[in-house]
Amino acid sequence: MSSANDLHIWPPEDQADRRWLEELWQREWGGDIMVSRGHVYRLTDLHALVAKLRDERVGAATYRFDGVGGCELMSINATLGGHGIGSQLLGAVESEARAAGCQRVWMVTSNDNIDALRFYQRRGYRMTAVHSGAIDAARRIKPTIPRVSEDGIEIRDEIELAKDLE
């Protein structure tokens, strides 16, 4: 087991980091397009952080500043479980948001994403809105969004979570 001190998080440094991010987004998100609350974002146009454990890339987060005092977390992925990578990436995004003067971090997830709902609520995030039918609308923009989760839950709604920064 490695220690948290072995994990380093920073913006993509070179073309190899950017290629790795694009491969991660393709595998995890079906491409570099993200639809959130009816808006289309290219992940390549957003801020990103890459987590490396020793010399291996093991996670990434993308986010954007919303222009009204918030930071929207667009994606977070850890490719290696049990090392606190997701938690450390989230903490790094929160630090970036604080440094940029943001008062809160928020994100949107789909109604079937029970793991994400658990993850964020354990870290102080609260549900602030449910956008009924939002995934149905997003699917018209990004048809690769599945209709049913691996758990058999119909994917239809967006759930918004937020955390006020101190």
What does the H/E/C string look like for the chain? CCCHHHEEEECCCCHHHHHHHHHHHHHHHCCCEEEECCEEEEHHHCEEEEEEECCEEEEEEEEEECCCCEEEEEEEEECCCCCCHHHHHHHHHHHHHHHCCCCEEEEEEECCCHHHHHHHHHCCCEEEEEECCHHHHHHHHCCCCCCECCCCCECCCEEEEEEECC
- pLDDT confidence of residue 30: 80
The pLDDT tens digits for 75-125 are 999 998 888 999 999 999 999 999 999 999 999 999 999 999 999 999 999
- Segment 45-75, tens digit of pLDDT: 999 999 999 889 999 999 999 999 999 999 9
Specify the CATH number for 4-164; select among 3.40.50.1170, 3.40.640.10, 3.30.470.10, 3.40.630.30.
3.40.630.30
How much is the pTM?
A: 0.88
% of the chain exceeding 90 in pLDDT: 70
Domain boundaries, the chain: 4-164
